[in-house]
Chain A
Amino acid sequence: MDSRILNCGFLCSTLILGCGSAKVKPTGVIGTPLDDITLQYSSDVIQRSQLFFYDQHTRRILKLDVDDFALTEAFSVKTAGDDHRLLSNSTGDYVIDFSQQHLQIVRTESDREDRPFKFQGAPVSAAFHDGKGILVMLDSLQSIGLMMLSSRGAVVKSWLGGSLIGSTDSLVAGDLCDSGALILSSTTGAVLVIDVEKTIDTGAWSYESFATDLGSITWIAPEPKFPDYALVTADEKVAVIDIKQHKVVAVRELAKGVEITNKGKIESPHVLLSSASGTSVEMLTIGEGGVLNSKPLPSGSDDYLTTTIYRRSDQTLTALFIEYGIASIRQLRLSDNLVTADNSFPAEGKTQISGTRAIMNAQTPLGHIEQHELGSDDVKVLDGFNFDYLRSR
C-alpha cells in the first residue's frame, strides 16, 4: 500500500447537499469535518474502487463497487440514531462508523469491533493515515482521540486526550502528515509536531513545538507533494510552514476586502481568495521550496462553491457547486482556465467523487444511486436496491 497520504487525513467522503442532521461547529478542525464535504477520490497513485454510504432508511452501511457499479455488501447499524459518518481504508476492507458517543469498525456483518475506543461527545472531524494505520478524531467536547489500527482495522492501541497543552494553551486545529506525525496548532499561535504513537504509549502529549507570529492558526493542510511543508490559514493570513525546520517560510497577508472563500486539502492543499467585489479570484498553493504560488481563476468561480479538489498531476481543479437545489461538478484546466467538464444533477442525498466519477446517493427510501462520468453524459443508475430489504422486515 502506498504510504503517501493523498489528502493528509481523509480518504472517505461524505457530501451533504442541502440536507442532513444539525452540524456541530468546531472552533478548529483536525483533518476534515465529518459533517462537511469530503471527497473520496482516486488518483494515479491510489485507485479507490470501494465506496461506503450510510442509508438512513434501512439503517445500513452500503458498500459500492465503483468499477462494477454494484452494491456488494450491506452492514446493519447497531446503534440508535441516524448520525452516522463513515471512514474507510483505501481498499475498502473495513469501514469506521462514527456516531454519537460511539465508534464501530466493521469488516463484515458478523466481524465487527464495537466501541474499541470510548469518547463522550459527538465526532466532529477526523484525520486518517491509511498507510500507517493512524486515526485521529476530534469530538464536540474538544477531546482528541488517537488510535493505531492494524491492516484489518482493529484498534491496536488508543488514547483519548483533552485539548489543553501546557498550563494555559489549547489545541486548535491540525492534520496528519505523510510521516505519520500529527501537526496541531495552539491558541497562542504555536505549531506542535506530535508523535502519535509515543503519545498513546505514554498517555500524554508528546511533541515538539515552535512558535509563529501568525496568530491563531485554524487550518493546517500538509502538502503530500512536498512533505516538509504545510499550508495554513490564520487571522487574515495564508502561510506556508516548514514542519521540519520549524519555521514559517511564506506569508500572504490578505488585503483589505479580500477574503478566504474556500479551503481544500484534497489532493493537494489550496486556498481560494476572492475580492469583495468577486471580480478577482485566485488560488494559493505550495510550490517548490515552500513558496506560496498564486493562480488566478475565473471571476465568480467560487460562487456557491462547497468543495474543491486540486490535482497537481494534471493541473486541474474540480469544484462542487450547489445552486437552487442542483449540484454541479465542474473541472477547470488550470493552464488556461478552460472548463473541461460540467456535470449537474439534483442536489439531494450525498455525493462522493472518485477520480473522474461522481457518485450520488439520493438517500431515498427505495434506494437510488447515480454515477456520473465527469465531462460526459454517461450516467449509471442503481435503483430500488432497498426494496427487497424493506419487504423482508
Chain B
Amino acid sequence: MNWKSALCLLGFCLSHIAEASTFIGNGGNTADLQLQVTLATIHRTADDLDTDTNVLCRCPAEWTSGEMCESLRSLSKEEVLFCQKTLTNQAQALAEISAKSSPVVFRWSSEEIATSEVGGKVRDVDALVVSGKGQIVIQRDRFMSMTASQRVALLTHELFHILPIEGRQINDSEKVGPFQKGMLLLDALGAAMVIESVETGVKDELRGLENISRSNKKWWIFLDWKALNSPEKSTNERLRDQKSNATTLGFEYRYQMIGLRLLFDDTRYSAARSSILVKETTYSSGAGLSFSGTPFDLYLSRWSEVQLTGMIGAMFGTSEYEATDSATLLSDSSSLRTYLGQVQLMVPIYMGFWVNVGGEVRQVNAKYEKLNIRIDERQSAFSFGGSYGF
C-alpha cells in the first residue's frame, strides 16, 4: 500500500460510517435509486460514446453557462486532447465498471467524510475511494442534495480513481499527462461525461426516475379518505347503516424509520332509512407512532422507493348524533375516544407526492347520555389518499 492509499484509508477511518448498505444486494436505502440512476447514466453514456473524439471534453458552443463548462473552458489544448484520449480509451471499461454487474461496492456514510492531503491538511469530501478494496464511500446527504449533473460528474471522477490511466490508478494530487493534478483531469472527465449524457439524451431518458418521490424525507403530510365499516348490531341501535366515511389529515415528523404523526379526523354519516334521516359526525384529533420501511429493491424502478408503513395511535374528540323526520328532531353529543392501528402502502409519484392505500382498524367508544345510546365498537376501514414528503 502506498502513502496515497494510506491517506485515503486514513481519511476514511477518520469518519464513522453509519450504514453498511450498498445498492447491490441489501436495498432499503432511499439514496440507492439516485445512485442507480447516476450509474446508469454513466453506463449508457460510456457505452454509446461518440467516436468523434473531437467533441469530447469540450463545452458545446450553445452551452453559454453551467458549472460543467467552467472546468472545461480552462483546459489547454493539450489537456483537452489528453482528456479525449483517456475517455475514448477507457469508455468501455467505464461502461463496465458502472454497470449493474459492476464489482465496485458503494457504501453510504451519514457522517462527513474527510481526507488527508499532503502536508497533513484534512478536507471534507463528497465521496472517497477506498483503494485496494474496490469500494467507493459516498456522503449520503451531500449526494442527495446534488443535482443530477453533479452526481454524474462526482461518480465519474471517483470511478476514474479506480480505472487505470497511463497504466496506473491516480489520485487527486499527483501529476498525470499535461494535468498538474489528477483532480483536474478527473473533474474534466466528469464534466465531459455530463455534457455527453445531455447531448446524447441519456440524461433525459432517466430524468423521470430522478424526479420520483423519495422516501427519505423528514416531514410528511397525509390526506386519506376512509370507508369505515361498523358492526351491524351497533349501527342498528342508532338507526343507521354500517358504512360511513372518514377523512384524516396527518402531519408527521420522521426520523429514519420511526415517525410521530399528528392526526385530525372527520367522520360523517348521513342517510335516510324508513323516512328517518340520521346524521352522525365525529371530530377528533390525536397522535400516532409510525414505522416505515422500503421493502423492495428493484433496479432503476420506482418500486424501490415504495414504503410500507404501520401506525398505532389514539384520538379524542366529540361525536354528534341526530335523528330527524318531518316532525321530530332528536340530537345528542358525546365525547369520543378512538384507538387505531393502520397499515399503508405508499407508492411514489413525482416531486414528493405519494399515493397511499391501506387498511385500518379502530376501536371507538362514546355514549350519548340523553338518548341512552352507548357505542363500543370495532370499525374496519379501507383507506385511500395521498401524501407529500419534504
Point out residues on A near B: beta carbons under 8 Å: 57, 348, 362, 364-368, 383-384, 387-388, 390-391
Interchain CB contact under 8 A, A362 and B238: no
Q: Are B275 and A365 in contact (CB under 8 A)?
A: yes
If A57-B274, A387-B330, A387-B371 touch, does A365 touch B238 (CB 8 Å cutoff)? no
Q: Is the CB of B239 within 8 A of A390?
A: yes
Which residues 23-61 of B sit at the A interface, judged by CB distance below 8 A? none
Contact, CB under 8 Å: B239 / A364: no
| Contact among A348, A368, A383, A391 for B239, CB-based, below 8 A | A391
Asked if B326 contacts A364 (CB within 8 A), the reply is yes
Task: Give A388 to B372 CA distance when docked, in angstroms.
Answer: 9
Given A365-B276, A366-B325, A384:B236 Cβ within 8 A: no
B323 at the interface (CB under 8 A from A): yes
Using Cβ atoms and an 8 Å threshold, which residues of chain B touch A383?
Answer: 327-328, 330
Contact pattern, B 232-246, Cβ under 8 Å of A = 1, otherwise 0: 000011110000000
Report the Cα distance A187→B321, complex, angstroms.
Answer: 62
Chain A nearest CB from B170 CB (Å) reads: 85
Picked from A368, A387, A390, A391, the residue with its CB within 8 Å of the CB of B327 is A368
Please name all residues of chain A whose beta carbon is closer than 8 Å to the beta carbon of B324 when the two chains form the complex: 366
Question: Are the C-beta atoms of B330 and A384 separated by less than 8 Å?
Answer: yes
The 8 Å CB contact of A364, one of B237, B238, B325, is B325
Interface residue count on the B side (C-beta < 8 Å): 17
Q: How far is the CA of A189 from the CA of B357 in the complex (A)?
A: 85
Q: Which listed residue, B236, B237, B274, B371, touches A365 by the CB 8 Å rule?
A: B274
Residues of A with C-beta under 8 A to B276:
365-366, 390
Residues of B within 8 A of A (CB): 236-239, 274-276, 323-328, 330, 371-373
* Residue in contact with A387 in the complex, picked from B236, B275, B323, B326, CB distance below 8 Å: B323
- Taken together as a complex, chains A and B put the C-alpha atoms of A311 and B327 apart, in Å, by 32
Q: Which residue of B lies closest to A390 (CB)?
A: B239
- The answer on a CB contact under 8 Å between B328 and A366 is yes
- Give every chain B residue within 8 A of A367 (Cβ-Cβ): 328
Extra contacts besides A368-B325, A384-B328 (6): CB < 8 Å: A364-B326, A366-B276, A366-B325, A366-B327, A366-B328, A387-B330
Complex CA distance for A365 and B328, rounded to whole angstroms = 9
**Whole-angstrom distance between the alpha carbons of A222 and B150 in the complex?**
111
* Interface pairs (15), CB distance under 8 Å: A348-B327, A362-B327, A364-B325, A364-B326, A365-B275, A365-B276, A366-B325, A366-B327, A366-B330, A384-B323, A387-B330, A388-B372, A390-B276, A391-B239, A391-B373
Cα distance A362–B326 when bound, in Å?
9
Minimal beta-carbon separation of A349 from chain B (angstroms): 8
Q: By CB atoms of chain B within 10 A, which of A348, A384, A388 has the most?
A: A384
* CB-CB nearest in chain B for A393: B236
In the complex, residue of chain A having the shortest beta-carbon distance to the beta carbon of B276: A365
The verdict on A391 contacting B330 (CB below 8 Å), with A365-B275, A365-B276, A366-B325 known, is: no
* A365 in contact with B330 given A390-B239, A391-B237 (CB within 8 Å): no
A-B CB proximity, top 3 nearest: A368-B327, A366-B328, A362-B327
- Is A364 within 8 A of B274, CB to CB? no
B238 near A391: Cβ-Cβ < 8 Å: yes
Q: Which residues of A contact B236 (CB under 8 A)?
A: 391
Is there contact, CB below 8 Å, between B327 and A364?
yes
Chain B residues with CB below 8 A from A366, complex form: 276, 323-325, 327-328, 330
Q: Tell me the bound Cα distance from A362 to B274 in angstroms.
A: 16
Q: How far is the CA of A368 from the CA of B324 in the complex (A)?
A: 11
Shortest C-beta distance, A185 to chain B (Å), equals 42
Once the chains are docked, how many angstroms separate the CA of A364 from the CA of B327? Answer: 7
Contacts of A348 in B (CB 8 A): 326-327
Enumerate chain A residues within 8 angstroms of B275, measured Cβ to Cβ.
364-365
- For the complex formed, measure the closest distance between the CB of B375 and the CB atoms of chain A, giving whole angstroms: 13
Report which residue of A365, A383, A390 has the largest number of chain B beta carbons within 10 angstroms of its beta carbon.
Answer: A365
Closest chain B residue, CB of each to CB of A368: B327
Name which residue of chain B comes closest to A360, CB basis. Answer: B327
A57 to chain B, nearest CB (A): 7
Q: CA A348 – CA B275 in complex, angstroms?
A: 15
Q: Closest approach, in angstroms, between the C-beta of B329 and any C-beta of chain A?
A: 8
Docked pose: A57 CA to B275 CA in angstroms? 10
CB distance from B176 to the nearest CB of A (A): 88
CA distance in complex: A366, B322 (Å): 12
Residues of A close to B238: CB separation below 8 A? 391
> Bound complex: CA of A81 vs CA of B236, how far in Å?
24
**A384 vs B323: C-alpha distance in the bound complex, in angstroms?**
9
Q: Which residues of B contact A387 (CB under 8 A)?
A: 239, 323, 330, 371
Q: How far is the CB of A21 from chain B (nearest CB, A)?
A: 17
**Interface hub of A348, A367, A387 (most chain B Cβ within 10 A):** A387
Which residue of chain A lies nearest to B372 when distances are taken between CB atoms in the complex?
A388
| Distance between A240 CB and nearest chain B CB, rounded to angstroms | 44
Interface centre among A362, A383, A390 (most CB of B within 10 A): A390
Shortest Cβ gap from A22 to chain B (Å): 21
Q: Shortest Cβ distance from A351 into chain B, in angstroms? A: 14
